Structure 1
Amino acid sequence: MPKLFVALSVLSCAFSVHAASVVHSLTEFDSLLTLNLEQLARIPVTTAARSPQAWKDVQGSLWVVTEQEIKQRGYRHLADLLRDLPSVDVQGPYSTSSRISIRGVTGNTKLLILQDGVRIGAPAGELVPISINYPLYMAKQVEVLLTPGSALYGADAVTGVVNIISKQAEQQHTQQLSYEGSETRYQHGHLLLTGRIGQSYPFMLGVHKEQFNNQHLAEQYPDVFNFNDLRDNQGQVIVPVQARQAFQSLATAESVWSTLKIHPTTELGLHYRVVRYPTDYTTLADFTDYGGFWEDRFLTAYGRYQQQLTPKLSTNTLVSWSNYRLDKDSYFNNIFSGYMNGYKYAESKKLSIDSQWRYAFATQHQLMAGLVFDHLRAVPRTTDLSQPYDPNLSVEQQHLYYLGTNNSLPVKIFQVTQDNLGVFLQDQYQWSPQLSSQAGIRFDDNSDYKASTSPYVGLKYIYSPKTILSLTYSQAYLAPSPSYSYEHFGSFTGQQDSQGRYLADTFRVPNPDLQPETAKALEFVINHELKPHWQLISTAYGSRLQNLILFASPTPSPVSEFINGGWIKNTDHNVNLGESVAYGVELSSRYRQQHYELWGHYSFTDGYLSTNKGEEELPYNAKHKLKLGATWRHKQGWFISPSLYFIGQSRVPSSASDGSRAVTVPSYQLFNMYAGYPQIVQGVDVFMRIENIASSKYYHAGGSSKRSLVQLPQLDRTITLGFELGF
């Protein structure tokens, strides 16, 4: 990383980087502190309507976190920010392989993540973490829409939309270099450069690297990570305890981000991210040999053209190409692979063209229409491989074989091609000074599954100058990922029947007939301003999701000859068989003065999950959550931001129960603190972070298998120190 920093610094000089004074930067930062809540409500946002509007005019629950709040609360990456929002549960080691639930609905793939309106997640809906792979060092603000957004964004906007709004090269006046580290081998660093190519083309370039280690968990929770012999399903010892891998849990992330303005109307951009994390953190110690990892790689390149064609008509066209790859050396090593390295591979590529047109009939009436085309090619996640996949060879040239077949039965590797055409329409109308509406609808036609329609309607009523009421209804859908539709895995016993066929007990087989999950949601919001510095927000909501893809079920009849030369006794596949209903309330308060701010959220979420196995409480959801925080800034510049969390009991799915253990996770309290001193000397900021000040033992909800940890242990007190240079 230091070599990369030096190289980029030299490169920035070649491009004539121009940095403004530190004094100017501080003045701009202080100007945010003087804004009261009424002035903040006029901050321009784009996520809720896909077009600029004032924050106060947004339909639905849109939370905006400004650059000032990101800095003063110490948000390093998206998981830091999300855990502070109402009705959001971040389970697992949130800085590595987190699981996100929003308003009782669980699933990382159900939350759409954008940066400046560009999708930066996995193009084929692969399941990936939302953690250290989404840094915020370049963010001007982050907009989080906690209502379904499929009417404007299509698939994968079921629980909401996150849009990281980047700083602009024309407005950024200083370069940044930061580093943060701790005694637990945590490290975080970023470099942000601004400059011009020649005199005409402003650009920004950022790099980031982060690593997080849960290594000390084995010492802090010896009962959880107690090592014994590793045995197979028949009780035979496969790996003696003395030959086992030591516990390890290191996660790393790297990223490069860049934008270039080649014309006031035209922008080019690039995102490259890599995240590597352990595959065995949620598995019981008696069923895994530690050391396995996943490494996800993402690349997105885009070009955007936007222009005001006439005083009333504007256009915005985005062309993007994205690629996801699961690194060929990724593997797990547990009872399901016979304690051998089970390698995996997946890849997807998507070309997307998104064009929208906005026409203003008058100040109070605006109409927007759009057309979207996506072309996707994917190799869904493979079965367990005995050796790494070779990306340089075609699928037909791999010469890979199923485990337990003495390298005689070739592995089936699927290839998927999908085309999707989407059309959307949105109308915004101001009926009177008090009443406004926003309605939209989107129609998608996909070559792999039936057409989907996603409507949305919202009403906003100004009851009084200090009280605003908002009611929204929306529908959304989640397209089945090729990894779910074509998922297959299993292993053969190594034995053959009288016909020479290799035998297997159970195999997961593909189900290309999976249909999209669907969602309906209703929300009512009361926004009340007690004083210009004090705001209360009350929200009631409900949602119903159907066609959920939750658990695999036996096939109508065993697909025994799914693999030529093999015989499988039992087969199952993924099916649409679940439904969830969630409802709740949120009570949020915010009090802001020039030198301090207080905020708090209480949320209650309840409901049920229903499958062919019965009805149960919503998993990965704490019914009661109270999140409190404050920031106090001294007139000399230093600040302190404590935060306090009271998180109620949560659960994992009942499938994790083996009849002898509970599936509940106890409630916990957590006290954190972040403090900093900007400009302790000219151009240098210093800061300190303390997580879990009381060093309490607490747990998050774990996996859904009978061989998974129900209660995931979390680290005790950790202290990190860091600095940021402005030059």
Structure 2
Amino acid sequence: MSNRPRIPWLAGLLALVALAAQPARAGHDAQEARQLLQLSLQDLIATPMITASRQSETRDQTPAHVMVFTRAQIRERRYQNLADLLEDLPGVDFQRGTKSSQYNQFAVQGYVGPGKLLVLLDGVRIGHPGGGNFPVADNLDLHMARQVEVLYGPAAALYGADAVAGVVNIITEHGGQQAGSWASAGAGRFGARRGSFMTGTTTEGGLGLSFGGHWQQADRAPLQDYYPTYFPKVDGVYEGAMVLPAATREDYTGAMGSASLFGRIDLADRLTLGWYRYRFHSLTSTGDPPATARYDSGAQWRTTSDTVYANWHQDWGGGLRGELTLDHSRLEVDPRAYYDNVFNGFARGYSYVLGERTGIEQSLHWRLSDAHQLQLGLGWQTIQDIEASSLPSPYDTGRAPGDQGMVFPNTGLPLPTQQAHFHNLSAYGQWQARWSARWSSMAGLRLDRHSAYGSALNPRVGAVYKPGERHVLKALYGQAFRAPSPDESLNVFGRFDGSKDKDGNYWGHNFRVPNLRLNPEKVSTLSLVWDWRATEALNLTANLYHSRIKDLIVKAQLGDIVADGAHLIAPETRVNAGQQRQSGLDLAGQWRFRLSPDWSGDLWGSVSWIHGRVDEDGVQREIPYVARHKLKLGATLRWRGSVSITPRLRLASATTNGRVAPPDAALQIPAACVGTPQAPQRCRTPGGGVLDLHLGWHHLLGGKATLWLDVYNVTDRRWLAAGGAGSRTFWDMPQQPRSWMLTLDWRL
């Protein structure tokens, strides 16, 4: 008797759906399905890695926990952008639409924010040039991805600052590798529409050309209709005075959009030239309730990022290879961007951000013998950043930062524009050794000499033991550092209402002041990984880790400050205070199976547990925005290669923003979070879950087209995510109700 799993109701549903597919290709599709099934997980495990060591090595050879997602998996699981992929990863907390400055808020194994995860494109940084916030949303589309590699744990020994939580490397297409050209277009609920394309070719002379792009637009649901308790039209009050009567308040709006272009030229296997641009816009009121923000469709962050890079591959023979990389990136927030919220008295306040980075690095890979390899690298980068907030008018990009000539509104006080310019020299080495068929080791060390923060040494050591053909045990210890971003160290904002104290100083409210004495955060992590290939089709992984962050950069309130004609009332700043510790366990697995000659599928999932505390000078609190328990499950079922169905489920326990809720019911803080000065409460957001469903009809219209139906939040579960961390920000951000999109992919 067969012990093959049977799911008759699901098979029946898929059989009905499959009637829309082209029957003429059934035989060919069944053959394709059989070929796909023959690709075992061993093939995935043997995928060459780049992010782990900047050289070709298999997942068994690196001591880190590594996950690889192929083009087929990205397509079937409907990872349309990096945000989709990240929220499906073990140990990742992903909260959509909760932060105006970066749109999506996420944490990787307890490390919160995009500045602690290094995001690469073909090994080149594409995040904020200065290490600050940047959107990880629909802007980082995966239309050009051949595969995506995820490396958990600190990797500063190879990549320097910001490689704290791990590294994500998007590997792009090489010329005609994408097997022809294609285009895609779709539309759905709440004004969602998107399009993308990719094309490429390789000439007989070895010249490879690749070009692609995407465009996307969507409106968030009218949350006053779906969450009337959280989004009523209330009075806008500033410093006790009514500024916006409830009767005149505007409807909620939440438009966002993105676009990107990618181009790559390959000259044989010697030289690669690449260019990548993305744009992203979202409301500056994203994540804010009516009591704290005005919903103005013109108040948007508009971020544009450009990256150009060149890789020259060298082969000197004798086992010695090299690679010279040059790259330049530029990220700019449109100077016309403004916010309209309670921080600025419900008046327009303009902001401007400009970050630029130029880098050059030469790496050498020397195969000393079959058992020993040595990798060396020498690099240099220069970074400059401009931060300007609370401006009364748009920043003039035609003038120097110190020549803007602006004053704080309602005063004659000069309004400074903060800027930074620093450089970093780095050198690293890594030695890999295979001592026997069972044992191998890795040891690396990197020196960074930062013009603002001095020198930092970061080691990385690990070992791999294979007790049997199906078991791999790994141990890795690494250190990393994160230099303070210009936003943390330089940014200034606040408002003067024109009133003065008895000495003639202007009263300043809601001020954030810079701190030029911040030190880098220092991180150390120990991880133990067990990979078990139970069968050729079943793979299980356990990742146990413990991490510590010292010199944690957090918000702090200061006493009143009187200087230069201003009297600032309890401003806040960023300081190094205390440390963060966390321990966690991620269990992940993937199973490739066959139900019948016509039915095949994949099942994947993860269970995560984490416990950690933040100690701010003796004050204990939980890690913000991180659920202690997480469960993620997904499956793809295929019928003859003509139909696929992919449900994805994500469950998470309660979260908190880690801060004490103020006793102010006017901010619509949930009753469970409101405390008193004598008995403050920490806001906890109950856990929840989301189920998405993706249906695909393949080989339509003569085998050239695929029709996708993507349904998000199928059960229409109205759950919440922990919101901002300040005293005047929203505590719980409602998730979007059920939405859907219909997309047609066309192979040209």
Aligned equivalent of 1:129, options 130, 135, 157: 135
- In structure 2, the partner of 1:385 is 391
Q: Secondary structure at the match of 2:408?
A: coil
- In structure 1, the partner of 2:728 is 707
Equivalences for residues 550-629 of structure 1 within 5 A: 550-554=554-558, 559-561=561-563, 564-593=564-593, 595-612=600-617, 614-629=619-634
Which residue type is aligned with residue 230 of structure 1?
A: G
The superposition leaves residues 677-711 of structure 1 with CA deviations (integer Å, 9 ceiling, x where unpaired) of 22112311111111111111111121112322222
Which residue type is aligned with residue 398 of structure 1?
A: Q
Do the aligned residues in 1 keep the contact of 2:410 with 2:498 (CA within 8 Å)? yes
Q: CA deviation at 1:189?
A: 1.1
Rate the CA distance shift 1:548–1:29 in 2: closer, same or farther, 3 A.
Answer: farther
Matched, 1:280 2:285: yes
Q: CA deviation at 1:61?
A: 0.8
Aligned equivalent of 1:117, options 123, 127, 130: 123
The superposition leaves residues 269-294 of structure 1 with CA deviations (integer Å, 9 ceiling, x where unpaired) of 11111111122222232121112321
Worse overlay, 307-316 or 29-38: 29-38
- In structure 1, the partner of 2:747 is 726
Rate the CA distance shift 1:616–1:144 in 2: closer, same or farther, 3 A.
Answer: same
Do the aligned residues in 1 keep the contact of 2:493 with 2:512 (CA within 8 Å)? yes
Worse overlay, 277-286 or 410-419: 277-286
Aligned equivalent of 2:403, options 389, 397, 400: 397
- In structure 1, the partner of 2:306 is 299
Rate the CA distance shift 1:685–1:369 in 2: closer, same or farther, 3 A.
Answer: same
Do the aligned residues in 2 keep the contact of 1:579 with 1:610 (CA within 8 Å)? yes
Q: Secondary structure at the match of 1:219?
A: helix
Which residue type is aligned with residue 610 of structure 1?
A: D
The superposition leaves residues 604-650 of structure 1 with CA deviations (integer Å, 9 ceiling, x where unpaired) of 11111111371012211111111111111111421111122221111
Matched, 1:357 2:354: no
- In structure 1, the partner of 2:478 is 474
Which residue type is aligned with residue 369 of structure 1?
A: L
Matched, 1:209 2:215: yes
Rate the CA distance shift 1:474–1:200 in 2: closer, same or farther, 3 A.
Answer: closer
Q: CA deviation at 1:438?
A: 1.1
Matched, 1:157 2:163: yes
Rate the CA distance shift 1:711–1:355 in 2: closer, same or farther, 3 A.
Answer: same
Q: Secondary structure at the match of 1:55?
A: coil
Worse overlay, 108-117 or 687-696: 687-696
Between the two proteins, the alignment pairs up a number of residues equal to: 697
Matched, 1:330 2:330: no
Do the aligned residues in 1 keep the contact of 2:343 with 2:510 (CA within 8 Å)? no
Matched, 1:536 2:540: yes
Q: Secondary structure at the match of 2:85?
A: helix
The superposition leaves residues 567-603 of structure 1 with CA deviations (integer Å, 9 ceiling, x where unpaired) of 4354443111131111011212211136211112111
Q: CA RMSD in A?
A: 2.2
Q: Secondary structure at the match of 2:175?
A: coil
Which residue type is aligned with residue 139 of structure 1?
A: A
Do the aligned residues in 1 keep the contact of 2:283 with 2:300 (CA within 8 Å)? yes
Q: CA deviation at 1:177?
A: 0.7
Q: Secondary structure at the match of 1:109?
A: helix
Unmatched 5+ stretches in structure 2: 1-26, 595-599, 664-673, 676-680
Do the aligned residues in 1 keep the contact of 2:196 with 2:213 (CA within 8 Å)? yes
TM-score between the two structures when normalised by the length of structure 1: 0.92
Aligned equivalent of 1:549, options 550, 553, 575: 553
- In structure 2, the partner of 1:665 is 685
Aligned equivalent of 2:714, options 693, 698, 715: 693
Do the aligned residues in 2 keep the contact of 1:353 with 1:373 (CA within 8 Å)? yes
Partners of 2:267 and 2:556 lie apart in 1 by 50
Which residue type is aligned with residue 70 of structure 1?
A: I
Partners of 1:414 and 1:592 lie apart in 2 by 54
Partners of 2:573 and 2:655 lie apart in 1 by 28
The superposition leaves residues 226-283 of structure 1 with CA deviations (integer Å, 9 ceiling, x where unpaired) of 01121112x2111222333321111111111110124531111111111111222222
Partners of 1:275 and 1:723 lie apart in 2 by 23
Matched, 1:315 2:312: no
Partners of 1:409 and 1:92 lie apart in 2 by 39
Q: Secondary structure at the match of 2:232?
A: coil
Do the aligned residues in 2 keep the contact of 1:149 with 1:476 (CA within 8 Å)? yes
Partners of 2:725 and 2:231 lie apart in 1 by 18
- In structure 2, the partner of 1:6 is none
- In structure 2, the partner of 1:141 is 147
Worse overlay, 518-527 or 491-500: 491-500
Do the aligned residues in 2 keep the contact of 1:284 with 1:707 (CA within 8 Å)? no
Rate the CA distance shift 1:355–1:686 in 2: closer, same or farther, 3 A.
Answer: same
Rate the CA distance shift 1:53–1:240 in 2: closer, same or farther, 3 A.
Answer: same
Do the aligned residues in 2 keep the contact of 1:656 with 1:708 (CA within 8 Å)? no
Rate the CA distance shift 1:24–1:165 in 2: closer, same or farther, 3 A.
Answer: farther
Matched, 1:93 2:97: yes
Worse overlay, 25-34 or 481-490: 25-34
Q: Secondary structure at the match of 1:185?
A: coil
Which residue type is aligned with residue 624 of structure 2?
A: P
Partners of 1:269 and 1:84 lie apart in 2 by 28
Which residue type is aligned with residue 340 of structure 2?
A: N
Q: CA deviation at 1:375?
A: 0.9
Q: Secondary structure at the match of 1:344?
A: strand
Partners of 2:623 and 2:661 lie apart in 1 by 14
Rate the CA distance shift 1:542–1:365 in 2: closer, same or farther, 3 A.
Answer: same
Equivalences for residues 397-546 of structure 1 within 5 A: 397-405=403-411, 408-496=412-500, 501-505=505-509, 507-546=511-550
Q: CA deviation at 1:482?
A: 1.6
Partners of 1:54 and 1:632 lie apart in 2 by 28
Worse overlay, 391-400 or 178-187: 391-400
Q: Secondary structure at the match of 1:490?
A: strand
Rate the CA distance shift 1:368–1:410 in 2: closer, same or farther, 3 A.
Answer: same
Matched, 1:368 2:370: no
Matched, 1:61 2:82: no
Q: Secondary structure at the match of 1:228?
A: coil
Rate the CA distance shift 1:697–1:360 in 2: closer, same or farther, 3 A.
Answer: same
Which residue type is aligned with residue 42 of structure 1?
A: A
Partners of 1:402 and 1:224 lie apart in 2 by 34
- In structure 1, the partner of 2:241 is 236
Do the aligned residues in 2 keep the contact of 1:642 with 1:672 (CA within 8 Å)? yes
Q: Secondary structure at the match of 1:411?
A: coil
TM-score between the two structures when normalised by the length of structure 2: 0.90
Do the aligned residues in 2 keep the contact of 1:656 with 1:704 (CA within 8 Å)? no
Worse overlay, 579-588 or 647-656: 647-656
Matched, 1:645 2:650: yes
The superposition leaves residues 25-55 of structure 1 with CA deviations (integer Å, 9 ceiling, x where unpaired) of 9999985543101222111121111111122
Matched, 1:677 2:697: yes
Aligned equivalent of 1:182, options 173, 188, 194: 188
Partners of 1:597 and 1:196 lie apart in 2 by 33
Which residue type is aligned with residue 576 of structure 1?
A: N
Unmatched 5+ stretches in structure 1: 1-22
Q: CA deviation at 1:500?
A: 5.2
Partners of 1:411 and 1:366 lie apart in 2 by 55
